[in-house]
């Protein structure tokens, strides 16, 4: 890596990352109003993109590789290790089952929607090359189940080109915000929906275990982690890097890099970095080791994630930005399948509509927006929205890898 040549781009990324972190911490003023309409993640993509497209700095390709291969895995370990799995199991059984049914709807809905639209536009079923549409769609799947970490992970694992990723990102933002609006509006018609789902039984919103809400509140007042936890993190990180390299080399020696082989993704180090980072993070999440320093790990993990996003922004060329109508058609069918699966599952479980809305947004939007949807139904639902959103982060990479494999299978 030519340090002097890419230093301006590196400093720019650091500055933009710090700026977005600082402004998202504001509780009042201009940026609070701005972020109601413009997601902070969009700024992390857009500001570096404008800088490179206007010629202020050169795209730092090596910076992006460094971020993806070293910083992203560390961020994933941190953000997964702070999830305390036993706490997640305290959510109501029906709420948890409806959420998981929604995840299944996303995993199978995307490939099925692509197959349906592909009957009319066969070119969408193109398999080979970094611009194959399914590679962009799996990035949308990553964003819908695991937010930005999932989106970035699937881009690396399945090799979407930069222009295709930018197209998928634009479709993702528009579809996701439209879906949030629909779910918020559904509060007004929940009575009608509940009569079909559960019958003439009044819905009791006070069914969330108080201990779950205690977990959310305790996360706001924790001490900083000690040296032993830093050593555990360092050891875990080194183990992830080592095992990922060994696994990638093993499969490369047997499979090569022939993209026509449906198992060729096993030879990519990025796959193993994401898989091992998530898995070791899950293992650590069963302990209480990272929970006392949850504020520190959340801040560091998100900060690293923001940096990775900004490095991708350096590579995006606005001349390649297109709003592909096919992506919106596929996305609309995809959301319909997701909703249909949720409705069927909820009907069988006799679960009320608010579980569908919260479970859907926990998958597609994550903890923050899921809590907004939950609060629109009843304040007692907020902790459920947060915990299910966190659970989406926990299982997201596994679900997305499965979805990506199905995408690849239906286009082969």
pLDDT of residue 294: 78
DSSP H stretches of helix in 220-352: 227-255, 269-285, 294-313, 325-349
pLDDT of residue 322: 67
Specify the pTM.
0.67
pLDDT of residue 202: 56
Cα distance between residue 351 and residue 347, in whole Å: 6
Note the Cα 47 to chain centre separation in Å.
21
CA distances from 229 to 78, 150, 233, 284, 343 (A): 11, 25, 6, 11, 43
pLDDT of residue 106: 92
Cα distance between residue 397 and residue 282, in whole Å: 11
The tens digit of pLDDT for each residue in 397-412 reads 788 888 888 888 888 6
DSSP code, position 351: -
Q: Could you tell me which of 203, 182, 184 has the C-alpha nearest to residue 192?
A: 203
**211 pLDDT more than 70:** no
The tens digit of pLDDT for each residue in 141-182 reads 888 887 767 777 788 778 888 788 888 888 887 888 788 878
Q: Could you tell me which of 355, 299, 333 has the C-alpha nearest to residue 115?
A: 333
pLDDT of residue 217: 44
User: Which segment of 122-131, 174-183, 287-296, 309-318 scores lowest on mean pLDDT?
Assistant: 309-318
DSSP string, 34-100: HHHHS-HHHHHHHHHHHHHHTTSS---HHHHHHIIIIIHHHHHHHHHHT--HHHHTTS-HHHHHHHH
pLDDT of residue 209: 42
Q: Could you tell me which of 176, 131, 122, 125 has the C-alpha nearest to residue 158?
A: 131
User: Which segment of 69-83, 282-296, 318-332, 367-381 scores lowest on mean pLDDT?
Assistant: 367-381
Helix, strand, or coil here: 292? coil
């Amino acid at each position: 890596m030519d340090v002097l040549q890419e230093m301006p781009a590196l400093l720019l990324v650091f500055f933009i990352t710090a700026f977005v972190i600082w402004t998202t911490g504001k509780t009042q003023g201009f940026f609070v109003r701005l972020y109601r309409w413009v997601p902070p993640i969009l700024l992390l993509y857009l500001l570096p993109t404008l800088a490179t497209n206007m010629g202020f700095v050169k795209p730092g390709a090596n910076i992006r590789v460094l971020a993806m291969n070293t910083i992203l895995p560390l961020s994933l370990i941190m953000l997964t290790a702070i999830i305390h799995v036993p706490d997640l199991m305290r959510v109501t059984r029906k709420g948890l089952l409806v959420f998981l049914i929604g995840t299944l709807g996303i995993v199978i809905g995307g490939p099925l929607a692509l197959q349906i639209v592909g009957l009319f536009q066969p070119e969408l079923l193109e398999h080979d090359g970094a611009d194959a549409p399914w590679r962009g769609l799996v990035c949308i799947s990553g964003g819908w189940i695991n937010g930005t970490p999932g989106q970035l992970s699937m881009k690396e694992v399945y090799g979407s080109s930069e222009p295709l990723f930018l197209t998928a990102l634009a479709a993702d933002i528009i579809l996701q915000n439209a879906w949030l609006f629909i779910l918020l509006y559904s509060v007004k018609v929940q009575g009608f929906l509940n009569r079909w789902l559960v019958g003439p039984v009044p819905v009791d919103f006070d069914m969330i275990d108080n201990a779950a809400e205690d977990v959310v509140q305790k996360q706001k007042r924790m001490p900083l982690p000690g040296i032993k936890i830093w050593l555990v993190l360092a050891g875990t990180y080194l183990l992830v890097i080592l095992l990922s390299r060994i696994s990638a080399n093993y499969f490369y020696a047997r499979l090569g890099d022939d993209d026509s082989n449906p198992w060729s993704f096993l030879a990519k180090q990025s796959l193993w970095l994401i898989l091992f980072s998530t898995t070791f993070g899950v293992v650590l999440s069963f302990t209480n080791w990272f929970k006392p320093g949850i504020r520190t790990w959340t801040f560091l993990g998100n900060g690293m994630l923001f940096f990775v996003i900004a490095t991708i922004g350096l590579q995006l060329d606005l001349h390649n930005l297109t709003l592909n109508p096919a992506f919106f058609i596929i996305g609309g069918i995809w959301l319909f399948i997701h909703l249909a699966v949720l409705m069927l599952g909820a009907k069988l479980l006799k679960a009320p509509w608010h579980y569908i809305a919260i479970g859907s947004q926990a998958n597609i939007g994550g903890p923050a927006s899921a809590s907004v949807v939950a609060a629109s139904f009843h304040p007692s639902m907020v902790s459920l929205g947060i915990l299910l959103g966190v659970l989406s982060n926990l299982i997201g990479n596994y679900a997305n890898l499965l979805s990506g494999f199905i995408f690849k299978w239906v286009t082969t």
